[in-house]
Amino acid sequence: MTQRQILQAMSGLMAGMFVAILAGTVVSNALPRIIADLGASQSSYTWVVTSELLAMTATVPLWGKLSDLYNKKLLLQLSLSMFVVGSLLAGFSQGVGLLIFSRVVQGIGAGGLTALAQVVMAAVIPPRELGRYAGIFGAVFAVGTVAGPLVGGVLVDTDWLGWRWCFFIGVPFALLAIALLQRTLRLPTVRRKVRIDWLGAFLIVAGVCALLIWVSLAGNQFDWASWQTAALTGGGVLLLVAAVFVESRTPEPVIPLGIFRNRTVTLTTVASLLVGVAMFGGTVFLSQYFQVSLGKSPTVAGLMSLPMILGLLVSSTVAGQVISRTGKWKRYLVAGAVFMTAGLGLLATIGADTHFGLLSIYMAVLGVGVGMLMQNLVLAAQNDVPAAELGAATSVLSFFRSMGGTIGTSVLGAILANRVATEMTKGLEEAGITGAAGQGSGGESSHVPDMTTLPAPMRSIVEHAYGVATADLFLIATPFALLALITVVFLKEKPLKTTSGMERLAEESAGAPVG
């Protein structure tokens, strides 16, 4: 394919990724208002984020396997259609239950986009050139991430629109992406008469969901040491053990266990899991910190995230261009992990009175690290697997990164709620306010406070509590980033291949040496 044909084919992919990113980020600044409007709790705040991540995580391996067997364009359009349905349900939600269900539907669609976009890129673009196009995707990612919070803030602050339009706004972009994919993406369909391992897929999804539901609810709905913990963890582990047994004996497994014999795949998978915990877990509550602890409006909170996004945009684009030109990639993974660790460590020092200038530097450092690390982990793995396993390898990395994000968001969300409860109880006692102590509870009965309705003394206590609790989250996330750094150091750098996934597949089928 010529560069023009590739760019045309990428247009639909980029539109699809843009809508997925926009849907995730446009809600971030609106969530405090949504949760307050629906009268929901801090744990519901976490669940609105976690439910989409959980559904996306659990379905990514299945989408990846389907892409190795069926028409990738049709699968992309199907995932976008599910995304549209989920967005419409979310926009019309009258209670937090339907909102969480709609986020699950969105998550299933996002799982397809997450796995398939990178699979299609690898199919049409050689690894040596992939960095250049990954830089373009990095720009789309950055624009979607920057535009989302800003648009979400404006919609929430505009009385005649409101937070429901945060979900509706992505629908036309998703429909445009479906049309663009139909017109521009041309991929040969490899006809393979095989049976999908539905039993293995069910066991993987059920096992992962059991463990993720456990980390989401433990410490909030029930104690970490309880019969519910024993049931969910025991059941989850048994289901996953059964999945491994089934996957090792089926000719077409959802996750080919053999790919973990590849050192590059194993190390990049571990690093992706750790990056997910550190990145998602550390940053998903930043918007809440801006609005609750710093007292900013949703629109201003969106603007305050710009330094992190600009750092990600610059590092992703520049690193991608340099990798394509030089063929060297490991140094950027190591540097990215160093920057990410440093950024999280610096953010662990913030509070309710941190100057925005310092906060901007800390967020920019984190953004630079994430930009160099996240996409290039996928590049390293795709370069080192047979073309027939590109879908499986890509989805495995996406799966573990999403699982890390879900675990990080759930566990750190529970820690945040408990830490806020402790700090507010302490602050209320010091202020001699005992009647309002119930508002400091981090349990199910507590509501995310609407800062505009609180009296000044109470607002000061809440701001301090959320500032301390958010800093603690970054402190907990930092060791995971350090472990990711140690993991990427052990990666062995291999020359980037100069043929696309489709060309490599044809050569492998013919028994020719792969370039």
Report the pLDDT value the prediction gives residue 241, as an integer from 0 to 100.
92
Within a 13 Å sphere around the CA of 113, how many CA atoms are in the beta-carbon half?
32
218 - beta bridge partners?
222
Report the pLDDT value the prediction gives residue 514, as an integer from 0 to 100.
47
- Residue 403 corresponds to which amino acid? M
Within a domain: 513:
no
Where do the H-state alpha helices sit in 126-218?
127-157, 165-168, 170-184, 198-217
In 3-state terms, what secondary structure has residue 41?
strand
| 420 shares its domain with 456 | yes
| 274 shares its domain with 158 | yes
Within a domain: 514:
no
In 3-state terms, what secondary structure has residue 447?
strand
- Residue 259 corresponds to which amino acid? I
Within a domain: 64:
yes
| 218 shares its domain with 304 | no
| 369 shares its domain with 483 | yes
Handedness of CA 464, 470, 471, 476 (dihedral sign): positive
Report the pLDDT value the prediction gives residue 438, as an integer from 0 to 100.
43
Where do the H-state alpha helices sit in 38-71?
42-69
Q: How many other C-beta atoms can be found within 10 angstroms of the C-beta atom of residue 229?
A: 17
| 27 shares its domain with 69 | yes
Within a domain: 433:
yes
| 323 shares its domain with 220 | no
Report the pLDDT value the prediction gives residue 58, as an integer from 0 to 100.
76
Give the span between the Cα atoms of 243 and 230, in whole angstroms: 20
Handedness of CA 326, 498, 401, 98 (dihedral sign): positive
Give the span between the Cα atoms of 359 and 336, in whole angstroms: 19
Give the span between the Cα atoms of 289 and 278, in whole angstroms: 17
Within a domain: 192:
no
Q: Which residues of the chain have pLDDT under 70?
A: 1-3, 24, 28-29, 40-43, 45-46, 50, 131, 134-135, 138-139, 141-142, 145-146, 187-196, 216, 219-220, 281-284, 433-455, 500-503, 505-506, 508-515
Query: What is the tens place of the pLDDT at every residue in 339-367?
Result: 999 999 999 888 888 888 899 999 999 98
Give the span between the Cα atoms of 229 and 334, in whole angstroms: 37
| 460 shares its domain with 485 | yes
| 248 shares its domain with 305 | no
Within a domain: 515:
no
**End-to-end Cα distance, the chain:** 17
Q: Which of 238, 253, 268 is the last residue of a domain?
A: 253
| 121 shares its domain with 213 | no
Q: Which of 344, 385, 379, 349 is nearest to 363 (CA)?
A: 344
Within a domain: 500:
yes
Q: Which residues contact 135 (CB under 8 A, 6 or more apart)?
A: 316, 317, 318, 319, 320, 321
Provide the whole-model pTM.
0.76
Phi and psi at residue 95, to the nearest 5°: -145, 165
The CATH number for 63's domain is 1.20.1250.20
Give the span between the Cα atoms of 358 and 337, in whole angstroms: 21
User: Which structural domain, as residue segments, surrounds residue 229?
Assistant: 197-253
| 261 shares its domain with 247 | no
In 3-state terms, what secondary structure has residue 294?
coil
Within a domain: 191:
no
41 - beta bridge partners?
447
Counting the structural domains of the chain, the total is 2
Handedness of CA 175, 180, 182, 185 (dihedral sign): negative
Token output for 242: 């059964």
Answer yes or no: are the C-beta atoms of 298 and 153 closer than 8 Å. yes
Query: What is the tens place of the pLDDT at every residue in 441-488?
Result: 333 334 556 666 666 777 788 888 888 888 888 898 899 999 999 999
Q: Which of 234, 253, 272 is the last residue of a domain?
A: 253
| 332 shares its domain with 418 | yes
Give the span between the Cα atoms of 259 and 307, in whole angstroms: 38
| 268 shares its domain with 245 | no
DSSP secondary structure code for residue 449 in this structure: -
Report the pLDDT value the prediction gives residue 483, as an integer from 0 to 100.
93
Answer yes or no: are the C-beta atoms of 255 and 204 closer than 8 Å. yes
Report the pLDDT value the prediction gives residue 204, as an integer from 0 to 100.
82
Measured CA distances, 430 to 417, 419, 424, 443, 458 (Å): 20, 17, 10, 21, 12
Q: Which of 120, 111, 2, 60 is nearest to 255 (CA)?
A: 60
